[in-house]
């Protein structure tokens, strides 16, 4: 498994510490909540960030059609203090992304939870 930081620079250089925290973390769908880090598993890689770097988190639902079928996709959006862009993490189920948001809201009051409309529209 390859560990990739969502926003550089991360202070952890020993990947074994991350592996141990990842194994012990509570799993909710694609996401895992560790003691100090949030993990997102995608194929053979694991993206991670520390909770202190997360400023804002919300759920984005995107929908479309494929022939007669309605398609819905759910994304957990994280705004990190060091990232220039938002981190868009795809979840299979809405409930899993909402569980991650609930965990962040309960345990980390400094993180703003929920979508906030931008002040200015360009």
90-101: per-residue pLDDT in tens? 999 999 999 999
**What residues have CB less than 8 Å from 101, skipping those under 6 apart?**
57, 58, 59, 76, 113, 114
Please name every residue paired with 27 in a beta bridge, in sequence order, or none if there are none: 32
Provide the number of structural domains found in the chain.
Answer: 1
Q: Domain of residue 45: give its range.
A: 2-113
Both structure tokens of 5: 């930081």
- Does the pTM surpass 0.85? The reply is yes
d(CA 31, CA 85): 20
- 4-48 residue pLDDT tens: 888 876 666 678 889 999 999 999 989 999 999 999 998 889 999
The sign of the dihedral angle between the CA atoms of 82, 46, 21, 112 is: positive
Phi, psi values for residue 53, rounded to 5°? -85, -15
List Cα–Cα distances, 111 to 23, 50, 79, 100, in angstroms.
Answer: 24, 12, 10, 12
For residue 45, tell me if it sits in a domain: yes
For residue 122, tell me if it sits in a domain: no
For residue 120, tell me if it sits in a domain: no
For residue 121, tell me if it sits in a domain: no
Instruction: Specify the 3-state DSSP secondary structure of 3.
Output: strand
CATH code for the domain in which residue 62 is found: 2.30.29
């Amino acid at each position: 498994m390859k560990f990739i930081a969502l926003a550089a620079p991360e202070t952890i250089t020993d990947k074994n510490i991350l592996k141990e925290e990842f194994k012990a973390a509570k799993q909710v769908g694609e996401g895992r909540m560790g003691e100090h880090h949030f993990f997102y598993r995608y194929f053979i890689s694991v993206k991670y960030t520390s909770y202190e770097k997360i400023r804002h988190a919300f759920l984005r639902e995107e929908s479309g059609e494929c022939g007669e079928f309605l398609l819905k996709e759910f994304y957990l959006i994280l705004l990190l203090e060091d990232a220039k862009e938002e981190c868009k993490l795809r979840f299979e189920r809405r409930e899993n992304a909402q569980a991650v948001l609930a965990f962040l809201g309960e345990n980390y009051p400094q993180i703003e939870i929920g979508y906030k409309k931008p002040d200015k529209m360009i």
